[in-house]
Amino acid sequence: MSHVDDGTLHAYLDGELAPVEIEQLESHLAGCSGCRARLDEERALIERAARLLGVAVPPGPDHAAPPLHQLRPPRPVWRRLRVPLAWAATVVLALGLGWYGGSLRMAPSTAEAPTTPALDAARAPVAQAETRPATPAAGRRVPPPPAAIGALADRPARVESDERQAAPSASVASNAIVATPAPAFARDLLGVAPVAIPGYVVRSLRRNPSVAREVIVEQEIAGVVVSLFERPIDEGAQAGRQDDQGLVVDGRAAKATANERLARLVGGLRVEISGPLPMDSLSKLLELIRP
């Protein structure tokens, strides 16, 4: 056996050599004083390096690990996604305007429709939203919103359509952050900003067309899509749905009765979760949400 290289000496001293390699090495060392001296040097080097690393530890007293079930990610997802969201907002807006413009061309009778959608959403009276053919129902998969929701309902439905159009390209670029902003409609609808599970990409955010004042947030978790159904707490009571039973307000998830969805109160919102994950995973995800 030729002389031993440094890597082998370190692996030997680290206890990471295979038995057969140890045997070879030790028989060489027995007859080679040079390598024995190097072995001592490398041992001293390893100790020295370990001592130095021992200095690079968090200062102050050791903080005990909090109980595992109390863990929560430190930063809310909205803040972490602010830059990508702003970027995505631009894209969605561009897509939306393009789509809007396209529909205008296809339906000349809508040429009178205001070209400032935000103002439109804020001002348009209910009657106008009902009578105006500006929202081309032909391309839309969801039923038109009930008149009672008025102009607000008009915008969210359009946002959803935009996302459906954007979906194919989004699924190709799977590594890109595919997120939509928390548009004003969601905040207006809920009274507070929508919430999301921290640390996961928000795939879409849209109004639930079949429930007044409910927003659906879709997030990608380990390759599957989990949906959050969020609505104001008072709205849940007004809707007279049964599934408010079983809620525990202190933050622990509890089973809902009406539709087997887990639900929790977060800030001023009632949040239900569903997705192709085990119940305890969904429960855990639900618990991660912070207002």
Partner 1 sequence: MPEDLAEVYKSTYAALVRFLYRKVWDAERAADLAQEAFARALVHRPDNARGWLFVVAANMARDEARRQARERRHLTLLTQESETAVPAPDEAIHAEQDRVRVRQALEDLTPRDREVLLLWDAGQSYDEIATQTGLARGAIGTTLSRARRRLVEAYEKGNEAEHVARG
- Interacting residues with partner 1 (CB under 8 A): 5-11, 14, 16, 42, 45-46, 48-50, 52-53, 55-60, 62-63, 65-66, 68-69, 71-74, 199, 221-222, 280-281, 284-285, 288
CB of 130 to partner 1, least distance (A): 44
Q: In terms of CB distance, is 142 or 288 closer to partner 1?
A: 288
CB of 181 to partner 1, least distance (A): 20
Q: In terms of CB distance, is 62 or 112 closer to partner 1?
A: 62
Structure tokens belonging to residue 231: 């609505």
Phi first, then psi, for residue 6 (nearest 5°) are: -60, -45
CB of 92 to partner 1, least distance (A): 23
**What residues contact 232, with CB distance under 8 A and at least 6 apart?**
190, 191, 192, 213, 268, 269, 270
Give the three-state DSSP class for 186: helix
Over its C-alpha atoms, the chain yields an Rg (Å, rounded) of 30
CB of 165 to partner 1, least distance (A): 30
Q: In terms of CB distance, is 13 or 95 closer to partner 1?
A: 13
CB of 290 to partner 1, least distance (A): 12
Environment class of 165 (CB within 10 Å of its CB; exposed 0-12, middle 13-18, buried 19+): middle
Q: In terms of CB distance, is 92 or 217 closer to partner 1?
A: 217
Q: In terms of CB distance, is 51 or 105 closer to partner 1?
A: 51
CB of 58 to partner 1, least distance (A): 3
Q: In terms of CB distance, is 113 or 271 closer to partner 1?
A: 271
Structure tokens belonging to residue 158: 């359009």
- Residues 40/44/46/47 CA torsion (nearest 10 deg): 140
> What is the DSSP code string of 65-93?
PPPGGG---SS-HHHHTHHHHHHHHHHHH
Element (H, E) at 204: strand 201-207
CA geometry: angle 268, 121, 112, nearest 5 deg: 170
